Amino acid sequence: MSKLLSVVALLTLSPLGMAGGITILLDNFLTPPDGHDGLTGRSSERNSLVPDSWTCDDVTIETPVVLQGVAWVGYRDAGVTYASAEVIILREEIEDRGAFLLTQVALIENLAPEFNDTLPAQFDLVTYRGVVAGLAVGLPPGHYYVGVRLVDSFLGRNYLATTGGGTMGQGGQTIGIFRSASLGSPEWVFVDELMPATDFAVQLIGQFLLRGDMNCDGSVNVLDINGFVLALMDPAGYVEQFRDCIIENGDANDDGQVNILDINAFIQLILGGG
């Protein structure tokens, strides 16, 4: 369900091991203590049996962010080594069932998932909490769907766990979506066309944009000057040196680019403290 984007928890050290303003952007671990309700799951996987399956939940973003990572609860086969995961991000251009238009923002492949397998087993499958990091996808305000799936070269299955026991999260506007040609849904459909309406156990982790904050310490001041100059002169070098920061913070004039045209606006931000 769609949640108004809010700061659920500000983390000095996030579950992904990142710092510098990292926060939970969406918390769909609705059912304590493990974040899922144990009722069911939906296929979200890529393997030899199901070559293309996605389950996505949605989020409404009201202020620009950079999505850094995804955490989720799922069910997978025991004894299978899943070497990689994939994340898909879609933007809904028209929030109307009669005119359902999606634009793919990103498909991030070859992600190395980390697993916590200490949760009680469900449906003869391993229940796990997964995390992938290093996404660094900038998202302007809008309505998005985000999905994650495990990849196996043979028959390893994966299901995204439901949460909330059928009770929608606060601020819900639409239903999550699903696509899998091999499972009878070659086009994106709302999940309530296939199963009872539900939330899925997903957390989105990232950073809010703070224009001018080039060292991502949460403030805009003279300590940001070196980072701003580096971003102008050597963008790749900036990304390398400030791994937990957002180069888009240097877009001081808000024209969608970081370049010399931002200098005057950046000076004003410094003088005004952001």
- Mind spelling out the 3-state secondary structure of 27-71? ECCCECCCECCCCCEEECEECCCCCCEEEEEEEEECCCEEEEEEE
How does pLDDT run across 206-246, given as a tens digit for each residue?
A: 988 888 999 888 889 999 999 999 999 999 999 899 876 77
Residue 157's pLDDT is what?
Answer: 95
Q: Is the pLDDT of residue 57 over 90?
A: yes
Task: Output the average pLDDT for the chain.
Answer: 85
Residue 234's pLDDT is what?
Answer: 96
Q: Which of 24-28, 60-64, 222-226 has the highest mean pLDDT?
A: 222-226
Where does the pLDDT of residue 18 fall: very low under 50, low under 70, confident under 90, or very high at 90 and above? very low
Q: Is the pLDDT of residue 12 over 80?
A: no
Where does the pLDDT of residue 137 fall: very low under 50, low under 70, confident under 90, or very high at 90 and above? confident
252: tokens are 């001081």
Sketch the domain layout of the chain as residue ranges: 23-207, 210-272
CA distance 269 to 99: 41
Where does the pLDDT of residue 141 fall: very low under 50, low under 70, confident under 90, or very high at 90 and above? confident
Q: What is the DSSP letter of 30?
A: -
Residue 95's pLDDT is what?
Answer: 60
How does pLDDT run across 176-204, given as a tens digit for each residue?
A: 899 999 999 999 999 989 998 889 999 99
Q: Is the pLDDT of residue 10 over 60?
A: no
Q: What are phi and psi of 231, to 5 degrees?
A: -60, -35
Distance of CA 105 to the CA centre of its chain: 12
How does pLDDT run across 241-263, given as a tens digit for each residue?
A: 987 677 888 999 988 889 999 99
Where does the pLDDT of residue 99 fall: very low under 50, low under 70, confident under 90, or very high at 90 and above? low
Residue 196's pLDDT is what?
Answer: 87
Residue 6's pLDDT is what?
Answer: 29
Q: Are 269 and 227 in contact (CB under 8 A)?
A: no
Q: Which of 25-34, 54-63, 228-237, 243-252 has the highest mean pLDDT?
A: 228-237
Q: Is the pLDDT of residue 2 over 70?
A: no
Q: Is the pLDDT of residue 43 over 50?
A: yes
Residue 197's pLDDT is what?
Answer: 84
Residue 256's pLDDT is what?
Answer: 81
| Surface-to-core class of residue 87, CB atoms within 10 Å of its CB (0-12 exposed, 13-18 middle, 19+ buried) | buried
Residue 172's pLDDT is what?
Answer: 47
Residue 238's pLDDT is what?
Answer: 94
Name the pTM for this structure.
0.78
| CATH 1.10.510 for domain 210-272 | no
Residue 62's pLDDT is what?
Answer: 84
- 263-272 and 225-233 helices, crossing angle to 10°: 170
201: tokens are 């156990």
Q: Which of 9-18, 35-44, 165-174 has the highest mean pLDDT?
A: 35-44
